[in-house]
Structure 1
């Protein structure tokens, strides 16, 4: 399987942060987005950013900016679809997504996702960590997504589907288990940002 392209999901509305782009918040003198790019870029064949609104605010990052094609903030799956459409135009077979507000995700994210998807015709894999209550906790903004399923995803979104896990289960999605839950710590509130500073 060819190396996937990477898509950073930054299309959310950041309501718990008071709006704006969480990826542009500073953490230890760097933006969250810079930290995510630094982790994901070495693991993928190319990189793009899924974001809505004026793309000029991300000019300094030098990445293609992909807006959602489904209207009305349809959640992370809309960003996945935008990434899959871009990947199809590049002749790629798959993408790996990462969230713009999650700066500590594993440096072996992509190899582990690919490994978990090796036995599948259309590898569809979500990152997961151990959870004391449910056994595992899935992290639906971190996944390996096949371009071959993009039209199916488009149809599902147009019919109102919004839940990532519901769609992945329909297609035999697997999990790649990562041991450290803190690796997927994401910044949703000002308190989270302060906690992330402590984690650096």
Structure 2
């Protein structure tokens, strides 16, 4: 576990391709996507928050702080990251880093946070994001709380694109294979839920099994 990192689950999107509602609350294997994600994330960090807008009561069963965007009109995942950085500074002053994951990605690697930090250190970069099979996943990344005012200024100036903003500071990539499946698979549309069910059956729903499959080994 990284004792210096707060995790935020970005759940503030409008889920238009899913038909609206909260993507993290759609179910696979009889449980919400969010539950599967939290199973993998909890062992990696000392604290987790949710970034979501609207009534926080719909997430009450998960027992996590729900932090809304501080900027209006749903300006995208950068706004959720800013909200998490602000919350970390106020509520978790001993945690100088925030790791962000998207709420529709139930199969994140069990070593995600550690490897994001390792990639950042190896590249001598301020930021890091996940990458699988050469495809970067900018919303799944590592952010220093110290850059929150720079991010706020960029958002107020109209910046919405994550990788364009991170390029200003240097962003390392932590790499994973995308076979036998992509650990950053995200359920964007209703048909993706069927694929998520297939992956869940293959990994048995267990983070340890997932790690073995991603590394190309069958579970014992």
Task: Classify the TM-score, shorter chain.
Answer: over 0.9
Cα distance in 1, alignment partners of residues 42 and 70 from structure 2: 24
The answer to whether the Cα contact below 8 Å between 1:122 and 1:146 also exists between their aligned partners in 2 is no
TM-score between the two structures when normalised by the length of structure 1: 0.93
The answer to whether the Cα contact below 8 Å between 1:114 and 1:144 also exists between their aligned partners in 2 is yes
The answer to whether the Cα contact below 8 Å between 1:102 and 1:184 also exists between their aligned partners in 2 is yes
The answer to whether the Cα contact below 8 Å between 2:8 and 2:49 also exists between their aligned partners in 1 is yes
Is 1:178 aligned to residue 181 of structure 2?
Answer: no
Within a 5 Å distance, the mapping from 1:34-183 to structure 2 comes to 34-89=35-90, 90-91=92-93, 92-119=95-122, 123-130=126-133, 136-180=134-178, 182-183=182-183
Deviation for aligned residue 1:179: 1.8
The answer to whether the Cα contact below 8 Å between 1:9 and 1:50 also exists between their aligned partners in 2 is yes
Deviation for aligned residue 1:55: 0.6
Deviation for aligned residue 1:123: 2.8
Q: Which runs of 4+ in 1 moved over 4 A?
A: 119-122
Cα distance in 2, alignment partners of residues 198 and 119 from structure 1: 35
Cα distance in 1, alignment partners of residues 128 and 160 from structure 2: 17
Cα distance in 2, alignment partners of residues 88 and 163 from structure 1: 23
Cα distance in 2, alignment partners of residues 7 and 76 from structure 1: 11
Deviation for aligned residue 1:120: 6.6
What is the root-mean-square deviation of aligned Cα atoms in Å?
A: 1.4
Is 1:195 aligned to residue 195 of structure 2?
Answer: yes
Gaps of 5+ in 1: 131-135
Cα distance in 2, alignment partners of residues 114 and 190 from structure 1: 33
Cα distance in 2, alignment partners of residues 122 and 169 from structure 1: 10
The answer to whether the Cα contact below 8 Å between 1:67 and 1:79 also exists between their aligned partners in 2 is yes
Gaps of 5+ in 2: 201-220
User: Which stretch shows the higher mean deviation, 172-181 or 139-148?
Assistant: 172-181
Cα distance in 1, alignment partners of residues 3 and 28 from structure 2: 33
Cα distance in 2, alignment partners of residues 114 and 30 from structure 1: 30
The answer to whether the Cα contact below 8 Å between 2:128 and 2:173 also exists between their aligned partners in 1 is yes
Q: Please list the CA deviations of residues 87-141 of structure 1 after superposition, one character each: whole Å capped at 9, or x if unmatched.
A: 11111201101111001111110110010112577631010112xxxxx211012
